[in-house]
Amino acid sequence: MKKIICMSLLGLMTTTGWAAEQSWCVFDPLSTQGDISRRLQDVRAYALKNQVQLKLKIFKNEKDAIRSFEQKQCSGLVASNFNTYRYNRFMGTTGGIGLIPNNRVARAFLQLLNHSNVEKRMVAKDYEVLGMIPIGTVYMIMNTQQINKVSQLRNKTIGILADNPPQLALVQSVGAKPLYVDFSNAVDSFKHKKIDILAAPAYGILPYNLKKEFGETTQVVNFPVAYFAMNVVIRPQAYPAGFGHQIRDWFVNNSNVLAAQAIQWENHLPAYYWADISGYEKQGYDALVAKISKRYVDAEYYDGYFVELINRLRCQDDPKYLACRR
């Protein structure tokens, strides 16, 4: 009888532990009023139905959010795919150069998050990825004279993230000069002309009047450099078994809504900001990006299965893409 009572108490304690409030450290540059924070309120409500209470701690600086997660002030982290690479190589590769070209492919990928071949890659060591919030395609924003050829990037100063070897390799391959920035100072560096070219999604520049604040020559090159998303990472030991799968189901079921929001942000950017480059130059850039991507797959920096999967999804979306003509 004592054994049964002890087991019952243990089960009650475990259930209580799961139902106890879990904190997520969330990076949202627009703080509690941002769309990232608002979207996570929907995730929070869904988690509550699964007996997990979430408290969202919002940080305007990504480094602070990651530091708090590392210090175990939170059991979950919502941060950029670029800077969550350290927790999961598969989902970190979503920010790979030239891999996810648009929001349609991002949506198709989201719809596979609860597929067995994808799910097993969501857990790595002590961390598990629950999902991804699409922010949008990363474009080159420049305040120099119009650049419509890759060769014209030579000697330009381009802002890149630290600890991201493929970004450095890309900049060096076109003869440009890299300058390390982060999400807290990138826009200011561009505004004060410390860098000629800023790589950012539309979401990151919507609060600004580009020509008024950055100069009359400011333009956005209509060519995808990378893809920006927010990954949701947890320490699964703090949550009930199956919680990760349940939340990934939410992301799958809401993939259309999530991608539509990213599309809407891009559509809000006025047409006169956009600058096109020729199809010939796009092909040359595609070939350059593919070469760098292959180098970092071979070096096992990018996840090979992810790259293979995204290439299949990309060919379904755009059969004319360079890598699909075989």
pLDDT tens, 176-233?
999 999 999 999 999 999 999 999 999 988 888 888 888 888 999 888 999 999 999 9
Q: Residue 40 above 70 pLDDT?
A: yes
Cβ contacts of 39 within 8 Å, gap of 6 or more: 133, 258, 261
**Rounded Cα–Cα distance for residues 75 and 175 (Å):** 42
Q: Residue 12 above 80 pLDDT?
A: no
Cβ contacts of 97 within 8 Å, gap of 6 or more: 166, 167, 170, 225, 226, 289, 292, 293
Residue closest to 111 by CA, chosen among 231, 251, 291: 251
pTM above 0.95, yes or no: no
Residue count of the chain: 326
Q: Which string of DSSP letters, residue by residue, matches 108-156?
A: HHHTTTTSHHHHTTSEETTEEEEEEEEEEEEEEEE-SS---SGGGGTT-
Residue closest to 240 by CA, chosen among 62, 85, 22: 22
Percent of all residues in the chain with a pLDDT value above 70, rounded to a whole number: 93
* CA dihedral over 88, 261, 44, 120, signed as positive or negative: negative
Q: Is 119 exposed, middle or buried (0-12, 13-18, 19+ CB in 10 A)?
A: middle
Strand partners, 57: 25
Helices 255-267 and 103-110 cross at an angle (nearest 10°) of 170
Q: Which string of DSSP letters, residue by residue, matches 188-212?
A: HHHHTTS-SEEEEEHHHHTTS-HHH
User: Residue 178 corresponds to which tokens in the numbers above?
Assistant: 């890299």
Of the ranges 93-102, 147-156, 230-239, 299-308, which one carries the lowest mean pLDDT score? 147-156
What is the structure's pLDDT at 145? 65
- Do residues 23 and 74 make contact, with C-beta atoms less than 8 angstroms apart? yes
Phi-psi region of 182 (alpha: psi -120 to 50; beta: other; left: phi over 0): beta
Over the stretch 259-298, which tens digit does the pLDDT of each residue have? Answer: 999 999 999 988 888 988 888 888 888 888 889 989 999 9
pLDDT class of 30 with cuts at 50, 70, 90: confident
Residue closest to 254 by CA, chosen among 30, 45, 18, 21: 45
Over the stretch 49-77, which tens digit does the pLDDT of each residue have? Answer: 989 999 999 999 999 999 999 999 999 99
Please report, to the nearest 10 degrees, the dihedral formed by the alpha carbons of residues 75, 79, 83, 89 taken in order.
70
**Rounded Cα–Cα distance for residues 238 and 234 (Å):** 8
